[in-house]
Amino acid sequence: MKLYYSPGACSLSPHITLHESGLAFEHVLASTKTHRLLDGTDYYTINPLGAVPLLELDDGTRLTEGPAIVQYIADQVPDKKLAPANGTLARAQLQSWLNFISSELHKGFSPLFNPATPADYKPIVIDRLLSRLQWVDGELAGKHYLMGDAFSVADPYLFTVTNWPPYVGMDISSFAHLAAFRERMAARPAVQAAMKEEGLLK
């Protein structure tokens, strides 16, 4: 398998998940700035949308969208229990978290990274994100991870998007439960391995 990624982008989530899975994979840098691979290949010829992540399977099949990719990875290694079994309420709850992170948090940051966003609109965006993160902080009270005591593929996604606030002038230091979650995640070997491969850790 090949994972196309850009350092620190949302592709960090499946990158971490692949390390958690133990599956063999190759990580391929696909800069979201240049949209070119290191060998000069135009990334748009691989993903016409130009976005990461993209997971290419050994037979050439390509899968996009982080929440779908991490669930696919989890289902390849059911013994690792990275996701509850399909058809269970717990799986639906996992999907609820993945959808929330995708729509309410991940996409919520997009205007803050867009230079065309009017300056007077950004505080509104930040306030909305902070309200969502405050809710997440409350949901993490008494839990090690989003689904309880057990790690799931929703956790790398939350970890990834909560890496972004310092880059857009947001302060989330008051969210104690979220901070504790982030510390637990940062200590996981899979997180450290993925971040090192992306040049985010020395």
Residue 115: is its pLDDT beyond 90?
Answer: yes
Give the tokens for residue 28. 């391929």
* Cβ 30 vs Cβ 12: under 8 Å: no
In a 10 Å sphere around its CB, with 0-12 CB exposed, 13-18 middle and 19+ buried, how is residue 48 labelled? exposed
Phi first, then psi: give them for residue 37, nearest 5 degrees. -80, 170
pLDDT class of 30 with cuts at 50, 70, 90: very high
How far apart CA 90 and CA 52 sit, in angstroms, is: 27
For domain 2-81+190-197, give the fold: Glutaredoxin (3.40.30)
In tens, the pLDDT along 140-197 reads 999 999 999 999 999 999 999 999 999 999 999 999 999 999 999 999 999 999 999 9
> CA triplet 128, 152, 53: central angle to 5 degrees?
70
Q: Where are the domains of the chain?
A: 2-81+190-197, 89-188
Residue 13: is its pLDDT beyond 90?
Answer: yes
Q: Which pLDDT belongs to residue 202?
A: 80
Count CA atoms within 13 Å of residue 39 on its CB side: 2
pTM: 0.97
Q: Which pLDDT belongs to residue 171?
A: 96
Amino acid at 198: E
Q: What is the mean pLDDT of residues 67-76?
A: 98
Give the tokens for residue 157. 């996604």
- Tokens 């290694």 sit on residue: 77
pLDDT class of 25 with cuts at 50, 70, 90: very high
* Cβ 164 vs Cβ 12: under 8 Å: no
How far apart CA 121 and CA 17 sit, in angstroms, is: 34
Q: Which pLDDT belongs to residue 131?
A: 98
Where are any strands of DSSP class E within 18-108?
26-29, 54-56, 62-64
How far apart CA 80 and CA 33 sit, in angstroms, is: 35
Q: Which pLDDT belongs to residue 69?
A: 98
Closest to 130 in 3D by CA, of 156, 160, 168: 168
For residue 95, what are the contacts with CB-CB under 8 A and spacing of at least 6? 67, 71
Q: What is the mean pLDDT of residues 2-31?
A: 98
Q: What is the mean pLDDT of residues 32-55?
A: 96
DSSP, res 84: P
Would the CATH topology of 2-81+190-197 be identical to that of 89-188?
Answer: no
Look at the chain and count its residues.
202
Q: Percent of the chain scored above 90 by pLDDT?
A: 99
Residue 20: is its pLDDT beyond 90?
Answer: yes
Give kind and range of the element (H or E) at residue 137: helix 122-139
Q: Among the CATH numbers 1.20.1050.10, 2.70.98.10, 3.40.50.410, 2.40.160.10, which is that of 89-188? A: 1.20.1050.10
